[in-house]
Structure 1
Amino acid sequence: MIIISAVVISGIFIYNYSTRQSWMMWQEDHYIEVDFDTEKYNMNQLKRYKEERINLFEKVSPTCDTKFFNDDESVNIWYGKNRNKELEYFTALGLHPETGKTLKPITRYMIDKYICHE
């Protein structure tokens, strides 16, 4: 009976651990994995965990030397405005972490006008 109880309890712990929700939160210039927090969830600060967001999505400060496009002309930098209407740049397509608006792919016009202007 003790062995059966131990197996059942272990199975419950393993099931709960493997199916638990993972969460992430924006921290200055990247997402970090965090534990669930009701207050942060109610303030819309928590997002469901996405590994590609943790690994690939960062806010950057591009310069004229930044590689904006791949060899096949696909985009490396996306942009959007923050709550103060200032342009911010990111390393992947997605939603702006503060405003929730869809980021736009960088264009040569945007590079010339806002990043490489003299």
Structure 2
Amino acid sequence: MLLNRRIRGMAVAAAVVLMLAGCAGTPSGQAVVGRWGSTSSGQPNLDIQNDGTFAGSDGCNTLSGKGLIDGDEITFGAISSTLMACENVDTWLSKAATGNVNGSTMTVLDDGGSTIGTLKRSGS
């Protein structure tokens, strides 16, 4: 009887550990996940997934990559981009290092921590 209790207790403990391990890859917040910016011609936009993958445009070139989400912040990893030259388009989004969400606005910063632009949350 004592052995059965111990086995049951160990099984419950193992189940809890497995459940917690399964949550480890889940972002701590959903503030960053979703569509940002405008898909209008020449406008920057990003679509960010739960796992940190992102895709979009800097208004000229298509962008993609994978970042790390932590609460209301994303740290962008290496950004893959096409290399088109577009006149009169500011391609600031291709220089993104981090993005911080406050409400429906994502403030995008470069490697030096300077704000380079903002994106508004767009419809799903």
TM-score, reference length from structure 2 = 0.33
Query: Larger relative CO (CA 8 A, sep 6+): 1 or 2?
Result: 2
> Which protein is richer in helix relative to its size?
1
TM-score, reference length from structure 1 = 0.34
